[in-house]
């Protein structure tokens, strides 16, 4: 029931709007700019849903729509080569808009991470936006990110991989999902991060020197998974997508709906993915299917102007098959597998069946935030996040034990954070915070096998500050943080009789960063980044003990390991001689003392399953260095060319030998061609891309069971188009990966011991925005 007061407002509002409605004399005008070049965009399309009428911006980027009625107005602004932007306004008077379009719709440089964060991106940063994520809808997070220069993926199979940035991954690379450091079993090379890239609004890679704001064990780089910004439109809008891929006969459905209703913005998104056995150039990879379900709920409410509450919940649930022929028991099994032209158990027929060996993983993330603005320039933020990661891995076992996981881990983590930010009158921007994280890792006792990593409780207290300022051509950004870590471990001895061994460790990790940017001229800019960080040894490095089936080696932790220290320096230069050309270069050097790695020992240990090589976690001084180059050519006209190259080298400086698991150098180039609109078909675009990956030659023969695979070249092709049907925008694309069905193996994919990598894959996608 409406009370009298509400009724009164309702009537007044109604009267007012109908009054204006009769008027219909309002005007909306605006200027459209390119976010990157900051130049005005001519010939952009501005379309109003309500009026079913459009206009085109003039040479100054200016547009105007007249004779509009008061009330709601949806505008769709599009331009060749840009992702279209929807703008919603509640029109009450003549309105003037400034609209920024993003012309480089794939890779963006140095765009602030999200509105409100206000951080000036002094560190080298690359961002993938929702559009390009969607065209890789069936891929896992690491594969999607691989399109960015300096990013590689390491894993076991095509869809079980983790991202690697400038040679670091796992324990040394933080994944920040919605402001919270992703907490799972990150130590395992075959443990993919439990994040669906489709649920993200953008994926960014920060290749700076130190990720000061985030807790966690990063030695520099950070991957940010940011949700979409919340809707401001009072109507229910949404998007849906379907994708089919030929390789693995995979299907993806994905949908989201959102609305801002009565002050509460909400969004619900979900996706389902399924594929069966994937195929190399010539044969099926048995048991490489996947089933995955994801859901996200996002709520945001603002009260009394100063208060804002946010809630984010996501669930990722997946079942992942591992290549049947890759389960081995000892070195002679591996030797026999290496000699096979096709892996053992390869079958002629395709199947969706996922049997053992397989992984079943669930990840929950719940985050609640409370924001309070003291005034325009200052505010507090309180965050609490809970994560539950449960991982079960099933092997082929005797006597029906295959129904019980061989590894069953449950990790609960709770994170609290209080942050303060302020912007002074002199232009200083200040951020500081207090953080606490508790991680409780538990081996579910159902396996009948000694756990690989022990039970532990890891507690972490942290504090940081960060300040930045820009004046004239200079910008500066610096910060520091300290984390105190307390580990309580309860391990089971590997000696008999079995007993419980308890350990208690304390660590204090400092981090500091400094960045300086100088704009020489309108065309030339440089950033210098320096960062120091310290990482304490992770639980698996300290206490893992036993046979690692996958690599046929006995791995021994060392409880006496000390902290790693990293000092990373990077310098990058970007140069735009004119509006058609863009060049970027980045060089970095990162010495790491006490770098923890698995060192093969001179011992072959005799067990009942044969003799196994023994690897022990040891520490040496290491050095990473790399170079990344990028060029973009955008002549006036339908053509655009992007190219990049990355070079990386890692060495153990004490023994003067290469570091293992370093990505091979690679070159990527893409040629985009815009076709003119054809009837109702708009934004017709063709893309040819080429990725060349060099052979990893910087490795000794004694460092691997088999020499790294030779170089390979993959060609991709993509065609996409959009079409407006009634009020809905449809997006279509066809894409071919590995177009020439090349047989190849990738050094960082462990499956290469057993099988080739994926052959041709044709995807067809259909998307709808409403």
Rounded to a whole number of angstroms, the minimum distance from the CB of residue 497 to other proteins is 9
355 binds other proteins (CB under 8 A): no
| Near other proteins in 263-322, by CB under 8 A | none
Q: How many CB atoms lie within 10 A of CB 740?
A: 11
Helix (H) or strand (E) holding 677: none
Q: Interface with other proteins by CB under 8 A: which range of 126-134, 188-196, 267-275, 410-418? A: 410-418
Of the pair 74, 397, the CB lying nearest other proteins is at: 397
Q: Which is nearer to other proteins, 301 or 562 (CB)?
A: 301
Bridge partners (DSSP) of residue 604 are 613
Site membership for other proteins, residue 386 (CB under 8 A): no
Nearer to other proteins, 382 or 583 (CB): 382
Judged by CB, which is closer to other proteins: 113, or 450?
450
| Identified binder of other proteins from the candidate list 107, 145, 538, 554, rule CB under 8 A | 554
x/- letters, 78..117, toward other proteins (CB under 8 A): ----------------------------------------
Residue 167 three-state SS = coil
Identify whether the C-beta of residue 509 lies closer than 8 Å to the C-beta of residue 483.
yes
Q: Which is nearer to other proteins, 60 or 347 (CB)?
A: 347
Query: Do 347 and 286 contact (CB within 8 A), yes or no?
Result: yes
Rounded CA-CA distance 185/390 in Å is 9
DSSP-derived secondary structure for 63-88: EEEEEEPSEEEEEEEE-TTS--EEEE
CA 760, CA 282: separation in Å to the nearest integer? 10
Cβ 502 to other proteins, closest distance in Å?
7
Stretch that binds other proteins, among 103-111, 144-152, 485-493, 619-627 (CB under 8 A): 485-493
How many angstroms separate the CA atoms of 112 and 175, rounded?
Answer: 18
Buried b (16+ CB within 10 A) or exposed e, 579-618: eeebbbbbebebbbbbbbbbeeeeeeeeeeeeebbbbebb
User: Which two structure tokens, joined as six digits, stand for 162?
Assistant: 């983790």
Per CB under 8 A, the segment of 168-176, 232-240, 333-341, 682-690 that binds other proteins is 333-341
Q: Which residues contact 722 (CB under 8 A, 6 or more apart)?
A: 84, 681, 682, 683, 729, 730, 731, 732
Smallest gap, in angstroms, from Cβ of residue 605 to other proteins?
A: 7
Helix then strand count (H, E) for the chain reads 5, 43
Q: Least CB distance from residue 493 to other proteins, whole Å?
A: 8
User: CB-wise, 395 or 564, nearer to other proteins?
Assistant: 395
> x-or-dash pattern for other proteins, window 593-632, by CB under 8 A?
------------xxxxxx-x--------------------
Closer Cβ to other proteins, 299 or 490, answer by number: 490
Q: How far is the CB of 88 from other proteins (least distance, A)?
A: 31
Q: List Cα–Cα distances, 400 to 403, 405, 550, in angstroms.
A: 6, 11, 21
Query: Could you tell me which of 186, 228, 216, 222 has the C-alpha nearest to residue 204?
Result: 222
CB of 736 to other proteins, least distance (A): 33
- Round the CA-based radius of gyration of the chain to a whole number and report it: 27
415 or 733: CB nearest other proteins: 415
Q: Which is nearer to other proteins, 234 or 550 (CB)?
A: 550
Residue 266 corresponds to which tokens in the numbers above?
Answer: 């909400």
Best CA proximity match to 158, nearest among 135, 142, 174: 142
Task: Locate 177 and state its tokens.
Answer: 């999902």
Paired tokens of 333: 């099994």
Which of 116, 329, 577, 637 touches other proteins by CB under 8 A? 329
CB of 332 to other proteins, least distance (A): 7
- Give the one residue of 51, 401, 649, 653 binding other proteins; rule: CB under 8 A: 401
Tell me how far the alpha carbon of residue 5 is from its chain's centroid.
Answer: 49
* Contact by Cβ (8 Å): 666, 691: yes
Q: Give the residue, chosen from 242, 268, 461, 507, that forms a contact with other proteins under the rule CB under 8 A.
A: 461
Min CB(561)–other proteins separation in Å: 18
Q: Give the residue, chosen from 35, 297, 457, 686, that forms a contact with other proteins under the rule CB under 8 A.
A: 457
Q: How far is the CB of 390 from other proteins (least distance, A)?
A: 17
State which of residues 490, 641, 715, 717 lies at the interface with other proteins (CB under 8 A): 490
* Cβ-based nearer residue to other proteins, 298 or 327: 327
CB of 463 to other proteins, least distance (A): 11
Among the listed residues 647, 639, 727, 649, the one whose alpha carbon sits nearest the alpha carbon of residue 688 = 639
Find the shortest distance in angstroms from Cβ 460 to other proteins: 10
Residue 3: exposed, middle, or buried by beta-carbon count in 10 A (0-12, 13-18, 19+)?
exposed
Q: Indicate the residue among 382 and 694 with the shorter CB distance to other proteins.
A: 382
| Minimum separation from the CB atom of position 365 to other proteins (A) | 18
For other proteins, the closer CB: 116 or 329: 329
Among 109, 229, 370, 423, binds other proteins (CB under 8 A): 370
Q: For other proteins, which is the closer residue by CB, 502 or 522?
A: 502
CB 742 to other proteins: min, Å = 26
Question: Whole-angstrom Cα distance, residue 621 to residue 512?
Answer: 20
Total residues contacting other proteins by CB under 8 A comes to 63
Contact letters for other proteins, residues 495-534 (x by CB under 8 A) = xx-x-x-x--------------------------------
Alpha-carbon gap, residue 587 to 568, rounded angstroms: 11
Report DSSP state, residue 708.
P
CA angle 238, 685, 41 (to 5 degrees): 80
Please name which of 160, 174, 168, 238 lies closest in space to residue 204, comparing C-alpha atoms.
174
Q: Which residue from 532, 622, 518 is spatially nearest to 569, judged by alpha carbons?
A: 532
Taking CB under 8 A as the criterion, the residue among 100, 442, 730, 770 binding other proteins is 442
Please give the Cα distance from 92 to 20 (Å, whole number). 8
Nearer to other proteins, 394 or 733 (CB): 394
Contacts of 46 (CB under 8 A, 6+ apart): 30, 32, 54, 55, 56, 57, 63, 65, 75, 76, 77
User: Nearer Cβ to other proteins, position 93 or 341?
Assistant: 341
* The Cα angle at residue 385 between residues 383 and 387, in degrees rounded to 5: 170
CB of 700 to other proteins, least distance (A): 27
How crowded is the C-beta side of 576, counted as CA atoms within 13 Å?
15
Using an 8 Å Cβ cutoff, are 93 and 26 in contact? yes
Question: Per rule CB under 8 A, is residue 445 in the interface with other proteins?
Answer: yes
Q: Closer to other proteins at the Cβ: 223 or 337?
A: 337
- Checking DSSP bridges between strand 95-101 and strand 610-633, what pairing results, if any? unpaired
Considering only residues 287, 327, 517, 566, which one is a binding residue for other proteins as defined by CB under 8 A? 327
Q: How far apart are CB 617 and other proteins at their closest, in Å?
A: 15
- Whose Cβ is closer to other proteins: residue 205's or residue 539's? 539
Choice between 23 and 347, CB closer to other proteins:
347
- Candidates 397, 469, 649, 698: give the one binding other proteins (CB under 8 A): 397
Please state whether the peptide bond connecting residue 357 to the residue before it is cis, i.e. omega within 30 degrees of 0: yes
Minimum distance, C-beta of residue 334 to other proteins, in the bound complex (Å): 10
Interface with other proteins (CB under 8 A): 325, 327-330, 332-333, 336-337, 344-345, 370, 372, 374, 380, 382, 396-399, 401, 414, 416, 418, 434, 436, 438, 440, 442-443, 445, 447-451, 454-457, 459, 461, 488-492, 494-496, 498, 500, 502, 546-547, 554, 605-610, 612
């Amino acid at each position: 029931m409406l009370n009298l007061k509400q009724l009164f407002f309702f009537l007044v509002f109604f009267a007012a709007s109908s009054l204006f409605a009769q008027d219909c004399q309002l005007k909306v005008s605006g200027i459209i700019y390119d976010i990157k070049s900051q130049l005005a965009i001519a010939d952009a399309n501005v379309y109003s849903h309500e009026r079913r009428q459009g206009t085109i911006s003039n040479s100054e980027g200016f547009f105007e729509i007249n004779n509009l009625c008061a009330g709601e107005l949806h505008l769709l602004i599009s331009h060749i080569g840009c992702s279209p932007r929807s703008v919603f306004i509640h029109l009450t008077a003549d309105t003037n808009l400034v609209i920024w379009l993003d012309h480089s719709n794939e890779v963006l440089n140095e765009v602030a991470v999200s509105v409100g964060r206000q951080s000036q991106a002094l560190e080298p940063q690359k961002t993938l936006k929702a559009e390009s994520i969607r065209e890789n809808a069936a891929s896992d997070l690491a594969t999607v990110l691989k399109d960015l220069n300096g990013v590689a993926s390491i894993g076991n199979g095509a869809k079980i991989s983790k991202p690697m940035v400038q040679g670091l991954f796992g324990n040394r690379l933080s994944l920040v999902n919605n402001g919270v450091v992703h907490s799972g079993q990150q130590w395992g090379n075959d443990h993919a991060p439990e994040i669906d890239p489709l649920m993200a609004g953008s994926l960014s890679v920060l290749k700076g020197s130190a990720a000061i704001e985030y807790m966690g064990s990063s030695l520099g780089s950070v991957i940010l998974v940011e949700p979409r910004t919340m809707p401001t439109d009072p109507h229910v809008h949404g998007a849906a997508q379907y994708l089919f891929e030929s390789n693995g006969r995979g299907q993806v459905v994905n949908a989201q709906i959102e609305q801002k209703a009565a002050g509460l913005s909400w969004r619900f998104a979900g996706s389902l993915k399924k594929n069966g056995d994937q195929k190399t150039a010539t044969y099926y990879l048995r048991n490489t299917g996947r089933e995955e379900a994801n859901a996200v709920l996002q709520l945001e409410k603002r009260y009394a102007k100063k208060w804002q509450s946010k809630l984010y919940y996501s669930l990722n649930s997946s079942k992942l098959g591992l290549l049947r022929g890759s389960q081995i028991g000892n070195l002679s099994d591996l030797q026999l597998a290496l000699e096979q032209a096709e892996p053992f158990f390869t079958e002629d027929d395709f199947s969706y069946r996922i049997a053992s060996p397989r992984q079943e993983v669930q990840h929950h993330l719940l985050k609640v935030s409370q924001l309070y603005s003291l005034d325009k320039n200052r505010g507090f933020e309180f965050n609490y996040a809970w994560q539950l990661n449960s991982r079960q891995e099933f092997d082929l076992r005797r006597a029906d034990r295959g129904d019980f996981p061989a590894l069953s881990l449950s990790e609960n983590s709770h994170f609290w954070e209080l942050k303060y930010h302020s912007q002074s009158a002199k232009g200083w921007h200040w951020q500081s915070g207090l953080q606490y994280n508790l991680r409780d890792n538990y081996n579910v006792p159902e396996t009948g096998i000694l756990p690989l990593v022990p039970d532990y409780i890891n507690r972490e207290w942290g504090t940081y500050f960060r300040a930045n300022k820009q004046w004239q051509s200079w910008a500066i950004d610096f910060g520091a943080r300290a984390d105190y870590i307390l580990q309580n471990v309860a391990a089971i001895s590997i000696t008999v009789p079995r007993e419980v061994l308890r350990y208690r460790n304390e660590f204090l990790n400092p981090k500091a960063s400094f960045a300086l940017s100088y704009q020489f001229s309108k065309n030339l800019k440089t950033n210098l980044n320096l960062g120091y960080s310290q990482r304490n040894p992770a639980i698996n490095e300290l206490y893992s003990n036993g046979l690692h089936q996958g690599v046929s080696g006995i791995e021994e932790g060392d409880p006496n390991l000390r902290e790693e220290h990293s000092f990373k320096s990077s310098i990058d230069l970007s140069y735009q001689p004119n509006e058609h050309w863009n060049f970027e270069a980045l060089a970095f050097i990162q010495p790491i003392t006490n770098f923890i790695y698995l060192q093969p020992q001179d011992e072959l240990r005799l067990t009942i399953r044969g003799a196994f090589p023994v690897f022990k976690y040891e520490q040496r001084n290491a050095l990473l260095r790399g170079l990344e180059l990028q060029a973009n050519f955008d002549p006036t006209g339908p053509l655009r060319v992007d190219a990049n190259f990355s070079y990386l080298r890692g060495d153990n400086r004490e023994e003067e030998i290469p570091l293992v698991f370093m990505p091979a150098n690679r070159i990527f180039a893409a040629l985009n061609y815009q076709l003119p609109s054809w009837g109702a078909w708009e934004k017709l675009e063709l893309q040819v891309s080429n990725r060349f990956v060099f052979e990893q030659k910087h490795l000794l023969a004694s460092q691997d069971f088999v020499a790294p695979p030779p170089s390979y070249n993959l060609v991709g092709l993509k065609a996409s188009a959009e079409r407006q049907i009634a009020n809905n925008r449809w997006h279509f694309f066809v894409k071919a990966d590995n177009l020439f069905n090349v047989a190849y193996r990738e050094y960082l994919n462990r499956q290469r011991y057993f099988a080739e990598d994926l052959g041709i894959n044709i995807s067809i996608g259909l998307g709808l925005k409403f």
